[in-house]
Amino acid sequence: MLRRWRASDAAALEPILAANVEHLGDWIPRRVSEPASVDRLRDRLREFSAAFDATREWRYAIFTADPEQLVGEVSLFPRVAATRVPFADADRIEIGYWLRVDATGQGYATEAARSVVDLALSLPGIQHLTIHCDERNQASAAVPRRLGFRLGSTIVVPGATVSVSPRRVQVWNSVSS
């Protein structure tokens, strides 16, 4: 089940981020994966909600069939070739996702991504869908493969600091791209 984030989800999100620091740390932006207090997470989720309402990005919590069982997130980021833009100005959408470690390998990411692919393709003006993932994250790269995306390119993203090496990020394109 997918549902846009609510500030009230902070209590369920807090232990997941705390328990999954190592699992998520290399794959998603720190500002999203960083463990925080429930109060700080409420603020973060309110920011996600404001961005949703402003059509800058749509982030959805992923639940099992039990709406109390939070397992991760799937997101839609509207873009033009060089940058993020509001949905009304976008010609493409980047899809992102993450799962807590004990929910991997069960099809949740693929099912969630498939759902937002359908949503994205229903939006006016959208001509391309992409999924970006670190080439070391084979589990993540399996999702676009299952959805029929094709590997379009691999880009090198510089490290954030001298001690962090550059990352190689795969850019997967929907077959209509």
- 143, two tokens: 């999702």
Mean pLDDT of 147-172: 82
Question: 80: buried, middle or exposed (CB in 10 Å: 19+, 13-18, 0-12)?
Answer: exposed
Specify the higher pLDDT residue, 163 or 118. Answer: 118
The residue type of 155 is I
pLDDT at 145: 96
Task: Tell me the average pLDDT of the chain.
Answer: 91
Could you tell me the CA-to-CA distances from 81 to 4, 5, 78, 85 in Å, in that order? 26, 27, 10, 10
DSSP 8-state secondary structure symbol assigned to residue 84: B
More confident of the two residues 135 and 78: 78
| Average pLDDT over every residue of 102-128 | 94
Residue tagged 């393709």 (tokens): 121
Give pLDDT, residue 160: 55
pLDDT at 165: 72
Q: Work out the average pLDDT over 61-70.
A: 92
CATH 3.40.630.30 fits 2-128, yes or no: yes
The pLDDT of residue 35:
87
pLDDT band at 161 (very low <50, low <70, confident <90, very high): low
Domain coordinates in residue numbering, the chain: 2-128
The percentage of residues in the chain with a pLDDT greater than 70, rounded to a whole number, is: 95
Give the least confident one: 30-39, 65-74, 111-120.
30-39
Judged against a pLDDT cut of 90, whether residue 13 lies above it is answered with yes
Residue type, 91: D
pTM of the shown model: 0.90
pLDDT at 154: 93
Which is it for strands 128-134 and 167-173: parallel, antiparallel or unpaired? antiparallel
Among 112, 177, 119, residue whose Cα is nearest residue 148: 177
Is the Cβ–Cβ distance between 93 and 78 less than 8 Å? Answer: yes
Give me the residue label for tokens 């470690």.
101
